Structures are given as structure tokens and as C-alpha cells.
Amino acid sequence: MADEPDVALTVALAEYEHVREASRAIHDQSVARFNFFLAVASASTAVSAALITANGPGERVRLATVVGLGVLVLLLGVAVFARLVELNDRGRRYAVAATALRTYLTRRAPDLAPFMLMPTLDDPGPFTPEPFRRHWFRDAVGLPGTVGLVNSAVVASAAALGVAASRPGWVGALVGVGLLAGSVAAHLTVVRRRVARSARQVGVVLDRRPPLQPAADALGPAGTVPLPDARRRG
């Protein structure tokens, strides 16, 4: 009997390795897209600044080039933002999958649990294992949020310059600030809603699988389970 293979453990370790590799691929894709967008945006900014300060081409040519670069950055930014939101969602799901597998491993070897510093589904309190309990500021400064900030800056700058061309400068500045705040809020709302939707979907899966519920000693007061509340806070 001792020589028989532990099929359950073998499958769990293989699945954990798959989830780990998938998470790494998601991270690499996100970073690659972000770096590409950042390179294009930086190069466009440098070219635009050089055209504005140079005395080479005519004014119309310079204006058309700057507008074209701005449109290019904005279109690319919208596409990259949408893709990063999707990759961010998938990365969170893989994190939950890894947490579930680590919970299985710690339940198989309870003596190992104190040495598992990353939380499992049996850990209550502030170390909620689900990667959905995040402050809005963390999403704002993440990769999708940063791309959204650049998109908002492009829109706000274009609007401010357009208004300032026919009205006093302070009016253009107010319009730019208002659009910047509104656009940043819109991008952040998209990210937060995607996180909340994914949290609800993951919560349904966890609730339908009794083995994934916290162990009895991890329940809160009066036998309550803290995980569903954490999911709703998204």
C-alpha cells in the first residue's frame, strides 16, 4: 500500500504548476502590452513637443501631425486598456485557483499550515485569500489604471487646447481638469465593475463547492463565514 502512488496529490501538484505557469503568462502579457503602449505614448509625446517648438514644417502640417499622433495614442490606449482589464480579471481568477489548491495541500498536511505565510481559504481576518478585497487606489495605480490615466490626459489636453483656442485660457483649463477627473473616474469604474463581477462569479463557485468552505476553526463569531462578505466588498 505504501508504494501506491498518491493520485490526488499528483493531480493537485500538476494543477498547481499549471495555474502558476498560466499566472506567469498573464503577468508577462500584461507587462509587454503596457510597455509597448508606454513606448508609443512616450515617442509620440517627444515628436509632438519637437514639432511644436520647431520652425520646420508649416503650422498646418505640424498641427495635423500632432493631432494624428494624439488620436493614435488614444486609440491604442483604449485597446490596451480593454485588454489589460481582461488580463487583470483572469489573473485574479488564477490567484483564487492557486489559493484553493494551497488550501487542499495544507489540509492534507496540517503541520505544514503554520509555515504557509500566504493565506488559504481557511484563514479569516484581514488576510482574505480572495484577491478581490482591494482598495480603489490600488486599481487606480495598476497597469489598467495607469493606461486609463494616460488616455484621460490625452482627452483632457485636446479638449483644453480646443476650448482655449476660442475662449480664455482659464476656461480651457477648467474644461481640461473636469474632463481629466471624469475620464479617470470612468476608467476606474470599468476596472472596479469588472473586479466586482468576477468576485461574484468566483463567489458562486466557492459557495457551490462545500469542500472549499473554511474549516470549522476558521469560522467567525456564531459560526459565520467571512468570505462571502469579502467577495461582496469586491
Classify 228 as helix, strand or coil.
helix
Pick out the chain residues at pLDDT < 50.
Answer: 1, 125-127, 129, 217-234
C-alpha cell at 92: 485574479
pLDDT of 213 reads 65
Sign of torsion over alpha carbons 214, 85, 145, 233: negative
C-alpha cell at 114: 503554520
pLDDT of 214 reads 60
C-alpha separations of 234 from 34, 102, 123, 191 in Å? 24, 22, 18, 11
C-alpha cell at 186: 470612468
- Pairwise CA distance, residues 177 & 160, whole Å: 8
C-alpha separations of 41 from 5, 38, 79, 111 in Å? 55, 5, 13, 52
C-alpha cell at 86: 481582461
C-alpha separations of 178 from 148, 184, 216 in Å? 15, 10, 51
pTM for this predicted structure: 0.79
Q: What is the DSSP letter of 226?
A: S
Domain ranges of the chain: 7-233
pLDDT of 122 reads 81
pLDDT of 165 reads 77
Q: Where are the beta strands (DSSP E) in 108-227?
A: none
> pLDDT over 90 for what percent of the chain?
35
Classify 45 as helix, strand or coil.
helix
pLDDT of 119 reads 79
Task: Report the 10 Å Cβ neighbour count for 199.
Answer: 23
pLDDT of 222 reads 41
Amino acid 169 reads G
C-alpha cell at 145: 489604471
For the chain, give the number of residues: 234
Among 41, 173, 148, which Cα is nearest to 49's? 41
